[in-house]
Structure 1
Amino acid sequence: MKKRDEIPVCDTWNLADILPSESAWEDLFRETESSLSGYKRYEGHLADSGEMLFSCLRFDEEMSLNIETLFVYGRQKSDEDTGNARYQELSSRARSLSYKAAGLSSFLVPEILAIPQENLTEFRENTAELKRYDRTFEIILKKKDHTLSAPMEALLAKSMEATSGPSEIFHMFNNADVKFPEIKDEKNQPVRITHGNYIAFMEKQDRSVRKSAFEALYSVYGQFINTLASTFSSNVKQAAFYAKARNYPSARAHSLGENEIPEEVYDNLIKAVHEGLPNLHQYISIRKKALGVEELHMYDLYVPMVSREERKITFEEAKAMVLEGLKPLGAEYLSLLREGFDNRWIDVYENEGKRSGAYSWGVYGIHPYVLLNFNGTLDSVFTLAHEMGHALHSWFSDKNQTYIDAGYKIFVAEVASTCNEALLIRHLLEVTADKKERAYLVNHFMDSFRGTLYRQAMFAEFEAETHRRAGEGEVLTGEVLCRIYQRLNEEYFGPDMVVDPEIGYEWSRIPHFYTPFYVYQYATGFSAAIAISSRILKGDESAVKGYYEFLSGGNSMTPIDLLKLCGVDMGTAEPVKDALFVFAGLLEEMSRLI
C-alpha cells in the first residue's frame, strides 16, 4: 500500500482549484468567522422591508458558500489521508463553524414565516431582487408546520454539533482505525484485506480466497459489534429526536419531507421489490447452477457467473471505455468528461489511510471532484462512469442555477450516475460478438439490479424496521440488529442461498446508515435511470433534451417534477416495476447463455 506522497501528482485531484493553500484556508476561515456576527444586524428586522429581507438572504448565501468551501476543502484533504491529524482538524473546525452559523442564522425561517402573508407578498412583488428566492420561499412555506420559534430553532442548531457524534465515530473507526487481517491470495501469498481490495477478492474465481476474505472482514466487525450497535442506535435516537422536535410523526417522515418526497414512494418501492423477489430467487438459482456448487454462499455473490481471462484495465483504458459508452449523451457531455479527465478532477488510486469507496463532491462555482480507489476491474470502470455522472450533474446544475437553487436533492442524486452505468453496459453489450463475453456482461448488468435495486431496497427495509422498533421503545442491541438483518437476507435471497451467519454483521459496515433514509434513493434512482437510458437509446431526441433539462434543474423544482422532465413519474410504482421487467429479461437471456 503506497503512502500518499508516493502517488504521482497526475493521479491526484487538484484541490488548489478550491483554495490555493492551507494558509488561504486559514484566511478564509478567519474572514468568515469574523463576518458571522453580521447576522445580528438582521435579526428582528426581516419584516422591515423587502430590501432588508433580500440583504439578509444574500448575506446568508455568502456565509454558506464560504463555509461550504472551508468544509469541502478540509474534508477532502482529510479523505486523502484519514489518519492525518492536521486535516482532521481542518474538517472539524469547518464543521464547528457551520454549526455556529446555523445557530446565528436560525432566526431566518421563523422570522420569514412570521411576516404577515400580505406583507411578504408585497415584498416579493415590489423588490425585484427577491425573485431570486422564489423557490426558497416555496420550500420555507411548505415547512411552516415543522418550523419552531426562533429561540427553539437556535437551540436545535446548537445541538447539532453534539449529536453528530455517532456519525463521526463510525467514520473514524471505519476509515482510520479498523485494520483487517491478512489472507492468502490465489498465489498463496499473504495479502492484507482493505476496504479498497475487498470486492476484488470477492470476485476471485478461487472460492477459498473469497471465503477467507469474507470471513476475515466480518470477523473484525464481529469483534466490535456491541460498540457498533451502540453507535448505530445512538444515530437512530438522534434522528428520532429531530423528527419529534419538528413535529414529524417519524424520522422517515422527517427525512422524506425535507426532500419533498411523499412517504408512499418509499412504501411503493419495498412493495414492488417484494413482488419481484421470485425473480431474485431465480437469479440465485441461475448463479448456483452457473458456478456448479452444491451450496451457494454469501461469498459467492460477486464472482462472475461466467469466468473469463482476468485482465487489469488501465485507467486510460477505463476513460476511453466511458467516453465511448456515453456517446448517446452528445458532444457537450463528452467534452466535459474529457475536461474532468485531463484537468485533475479525479483522485484515482488507493493509498494508505485514504477514505474507502468513491464519491463526487465540490464547491459551487468550481468544478466538481471525484474520489476513486481505482483497482483495474470492470466494476471500477463502472464506478468511474457513475461518479462522473454525479460530477457532471453538479456541473450542469451549478452552471444553470444560482447557488441557492443549484444543490439538487438526494432523491435525484443517483439518477445521472446510474444512467451513465446503464448506457455504458448497454454499449458494451452491443459491441461484443463473443457469446462468453456477452454472458459476462449480462451477468454484470444483472448484478447491478441485485446490488442496487434489490440490495438497497433491503437496506431501506432494514432502516424502516430498526427505526420503527426504536420508536416503539425496543433496545437495538447488536444481537437484535444482526437477527433483523439475517432474516431480511434469508427472505430476499430465498431457499437456494446459504445465508452465512457472518452476513448478519453487514449492517455494521454501511456508512450510509448514518444518513438515515438515504439508501432507498439508490433503488428509486436506479429505476428512474433504467427508464431514462432506455428512452435515450431508442434515439428519442426529446429524451436527451429532457435529460439535459433535468441535469440543469438543480433544486429549482421538486424531485418528482424534475424527473417528469425525463418522462419518468416516481410518484407511482411503475418505474420500479419496469426496471424489474428488464431484470426478468436478463434472467431469460442468461438462462440461455449458460
Structure 2
Amino acid sequence: MWNLKILYDSDEKWIKYYEEYAKEMAILETPKIELNKLEEIFNFIQCNAIILDDIYTYGLLRREQDVLNKDVTKGLSQIRQIYVDFNKKLELLLSFFRERRKEILDILHVDPKLKKYYSYFLNMNLNSQNEIKEIYNKIAPYDRYMEWYGSFERIGEDPRTHQEINEFNLLNYLKSERKEERRLVYHAVEEFLKENSEIAAGYLNTHIQLNNYAASKCGFDDSYSYFTANNTLCKNAKEFLIHYKSIFVDINKKIVEVKKSMLCLDTIGYEDMYFLSGELEYNISIDEAKQIVLESFSKFGTEFQQITKKALYENWIDSENYDGKHSGQRSYSSYRSHPYITIPWNGRIDDLFSLAHEVAGAVGQWFAAENQEYIYSELSIVKVEFLSALGMLYLSEYLLENRNFNKIEKLVKAKVIDFLKDSLMVPFEFSLIEMELYSKGVKQKLIVDDISDIWYSVIENFHDVSNFEEMRINRYNWVRHDHLYLNAYDFRYIESFLIALSSSEKVTRKNDKFIKLLRLGEKVTDKIFFDEIEGKRESRFLVNEAIKKVYNLLEECEK
C-alpha cells in the first residue's frame, strides 16, 4: 500500500486544501504583462502548476484505491474546474506570448536567469481552448463513464454455477483450462455489455463530439488527426494506419495460428486469447518477480538498475488486490515525491510482465524529475511507453535466454507471444477503431450500432483465420474499454513500441547517453530524444526493422 501522506495526511485535508485553493484561484491576480516581468510570469505559471499537480495526483491515486468513492470522484471534477479557472487566468498571458513570441524567445535565449525557460516556451501550445475545456469538464463524459461502469458489482453470471462475474474475477474465468467454460463466460459478459450498450454509447458519443468540436476550432478535420499531429513516427497517422494495416493483420493472424497450435486446439475463439497453458501451475510471488525484473533490467545500465531497485523496494508499488480497487495496471508521476505504480497481484506471469512495464516507465519519470524544473519533469507519453516497451523486451529476452526458466519454457514462449499481441496488435486494432469513430463522428451522432459495427469489423478482420470460432455478440465488447476515451493513447503506444523494437540494442550500447537524455526530461523533444538514440533515418526503415524483430521473436517462440 502506498504512503500517500507524502502528499496529504488524509482525504479530509486534501478536500480542505483544494477547496481553499479554489477560493484563492477565484481572486488570484496574474503578474503584470510586460517583457521585463517574464521571470515573475513563468514563476507564477510553474508554482500554480505544481499545486495543481499535487492535488490532482492525490485524487487519481485515491481513485485507484477506491473507484467507487464519490468524494474522490467529486474532488477530481472540482480540481479539473480549478484547472479551467487557472487557464482562464492565463488567457491574457497566452495572447501576450503569441504576439511577442519572437522577442520573448530572443530574451530567453540570452538571459542567464531565464534560459531555463527557453525549451518550455519554444514548445508551448499557445492555442487557447478554455471555453471548450470548461464545457467538457462540466459534462465530464469520461468521468461519468468510469463511475457508471465501475458501479457494476457484476458484469455477468456463470451459466453453469450461477456465480457472479465481475471485473476482478473475469480473468480467472478466462484462464480456465476448460475451453467450454471460457466460451460460456465470455458470452455471458457480452450479453451483459449488450444490455448496457445504449448508456455506454451516450458517454462515448459525447466524448467524441466534444473533442471533434475542439479539433475543428484548431483547423483539424477531426480529433484523431489533432491528437496524433505531432508524432515522431510519421507525418500522417491515418495514412500510416491504413498503409500498414494489412501487414499488421497478417502478423496478428500469425499470432492467432501459433497460439492455436500451442494450445493444441482444433478451433480457437476470442475467449482463448487470454489463456496460457500451464500458467495456473506456475505461481510467482511479488518478491520473486521483483528480483527477476531487477536482473533483466541490467541491459538498461547500472544507473537505471539502481533506481529500479528503489522503485521495487521503497514502496512505489501497490500490489494489493481487492474489490473496489480500479482494475488494471498503471503508474502516475508525482513531482513532489516519487512515481506511484498499481498492479493488483495475482501471481501470474502476466503480472511479471506488467511489473516490468510499469517500473521501466516510472524509473524514466524519476530521472526526468530529478533536480529538474517542474515544467520539464514529466516525460511525454511516447518516451514513457518507449521505456515500458523496452522493459518488457528485456524481460522477454532474459526469460528466453536464462536456463533457470527451462522448466517453464513453453509458458514463457506463450507469454512472449501474448506480449507482442497485447503491446502491438491490440493497440493497432484500437487505433483503427478510434480513428474510424472520430471520422464518422464528424458526420453524425454515434449510436450503438455505429460503434459496434466499427468495433467488430476491425476485430473480425484481425482474427480471420481458419477454424476461428466467430462470436457476433463480441461486437459489444467496446463497452468495457476506457481506452477509447484516452485521446489516441494507443497510437502513441504503437509509436513507442516500434521504436523500442528497433532501438533496444542501441540503448544497451549507449547507456550513458540514454541516462543523460532522460535527465533532460522534456527539455528535449521526442524527435531529438529518439534521433540521439536511434540515429536519423526514415521511419519506414525503422518500422521494417521492428516488424522483422517481431517475426524473429515469433520464430524463436515457435521452436
Could you give the per-residue CA deviations for residues 405-434 of structure 1, whole angstroms, max 9, x where no partner exists? 122222222111111111111101111377
**Secondary structure at the counterpart of residue 196 of structure 1:** coil
Q: Is the 8 A contact 2:156 2:191 kept in 1?
A: no
Q: Which residue of 1 aligns with 2:117?
A: 133
Q: Which residue of 1 aligns with 2:399?
A: 428
Shift of 1:30: 5.0
CA distance in 2, matches of 1:568, 1:482: 42
**Runs of at least 5 residues in structure 1 that lack an aligned partner in the other structure:** 1-11
Shift of 1:344: 1.8
- CA 1:217–1:56: 2 relative to 1, 3 Å: same
Match of 1:556 among 523, 526, 545: 523
Shift of 1:168: 0.9
CA distance in 2, matches of 1:73, 1:427: 35
- CA 1:138–1:393: 2 relative to 1, 3 Å: same
Q: Is the 8 A contact 1:203 1:303 kept in 2?
A: yes
Q: Is the 8 A contact 1:388 1:417 kept in 2?
A: yes
CA distance in 2, matches of 1:113, 1:256: 23
- CA 1:531–1:21: 2 relative to 1, 3 Å: same
CA distance in 1, matches of 2:111, 2:428: 46
Shift of 1:167: 0.5
CA distance in 2, matches of 1:443, 1:278: 19
Match of 1:348 among 319, 334, 338: 319
Residues 304-383 of structure 1 correspond to what in structure 2 (within 5 A)? 304=276, 306-307=277-278, 310-383=281-354
- CA 1:333–1:28: 2 relative to 1, 3 Å: same
1:392 aligned onto 2:363: yes
Q: Which residue of 2 aligns with 1:290?
A: 262
Q: Which residue of 2 aligns with 1:199?
A: 171
TM-score (norm 2): 0.92
**Secondary structure at the counterpart of residue 106 of structure 1:** helix
TM-score (norm 1): 0.87
Shift of 1:241: 0.9
Match of 2:532 among 565, 583, 593: 565
1:257 aligned onto 2:232: no
CA distance in 1, matches of 2:402, 2:512: 26
CA distance in 2, matches of 1:402, 1:558: 16
Q: Is the 8 A contact 1:362 1:368 kept in 2?
A: yes
Q: Which residue of 1 aligns with 2:64?
A: 79
Residues 171-186 of structure 1 correspond to what in structure 2 (within 5 A)? 171-177=146-152, 179-183=154-158
Deviates more, 1:351-360 or 1:17-26: 17-26
Q: Which amino acid aligns with 1:573?
A: R
- CA 1:88–1:283: 2 relative to 1, 3 Å: closer
- CA 1:138–1:198: 2 relative to 1, 3 Å: same
1:69 aligned onto 2:54: yes
Q: Is the 8 A contact 2:238 2:435 kept in 1?
A: no
CA RMSD of aligned residues (A): 2.6
CA distance in 2, matches of 1:56, 1:371: 36
**Secondary structure at the counterpart of residue 370 of structure 1:** strand
Q: Which residue of 1 aligns with 2:439?
A: 468
**Secondary structure at the counterpart of residue 519 of structure 1:** helix
CA distance in 2, matches of 1:513, 1:82: 19
- CA 1:27–1:454: 2 relative to 1, 3 Å: same
Q: Which residue of 1 aligns with 2:9?
A: 20
Deviates more, 1:355-364 or 1:196-205: 196-205
Deviates more, 1:370-379 or 1:545-554: 545-554
Identity of matched residues, %: 19
CA distance in 2, matches of 1:105, 1:241: 22
**Runs of at least 5 residues in structure 2 that lack an aligned partner in the other structure:** none
Q: Is the 8 A contact 2:228 2:237 kept in 1?
A: no
1:452 aligned onto 2:433: no
Could you give the per-residue CA deviations for residues 165-216 of structure 1, whole angstroms, max 9, x where no partner exists? 21011111222335223438xxx87754332333343233221232133123
CA distance in 1, matches of 2:357, 2:367: 16
Q: Is the 8 A contact 1:560 1:569 kept in 2?
A: no
- CA 1:503–1:433: 2 relative to 1, 3 Å: same
1:246 aligned onto 2:218: yes
Where in structure 1 do 4 or more consecutive aligned residues deviate above 6 Å?
258-261, 433-436
Deviates more, 1:60-69 or 1:15-24: 15-24
Q: Is the 8 A contact 1:530 1:579 kept in 2?
A: yes
Shift of 1:568: 5.9
CA distance in 1, matches of 2:187, 2:310: 42
CA distance in 2, matches of 1:363, 1:564: 27
- CA 1:290–1:59: 2 relative to 1, 3 Å: same
- CA 1:121–1:168: 2 relative to 1, 3 Å: closer
Match of 1:221 among 185, 189, 193: 193
Q: Which amino acid aligns with 1:110?
A: S
Match of 1:32 among 12, 18, 21: 21
Q: Which amino acid aligns with 1:218?
A: E
**Secondary structure at the counterpart of residue 107 of structure 1:** helix
Deviates more, 1:551-560 or 1:32-41: 32-41
Matched pairs, number: 558
CA distance in 1, matches of 2:251, 2:228: 29
**Secondary structure at the counterpart of residue 453 of structure 1:** helix
Deviates more, 1:364-373 or 1:23-32: 23-32
- CA 1:374–1:167: 2 relative to 1, 3 Å: same
Q: Is the 8 A contact 1:225 1:508 kept in 2?
A: yes
- CA 1:439–1:419: 2 relative to 1, 3 Å: same
- CA 1:258–1:534: 2 relative to 1, 3 Å: closer
Shift of 1:103: 2.0
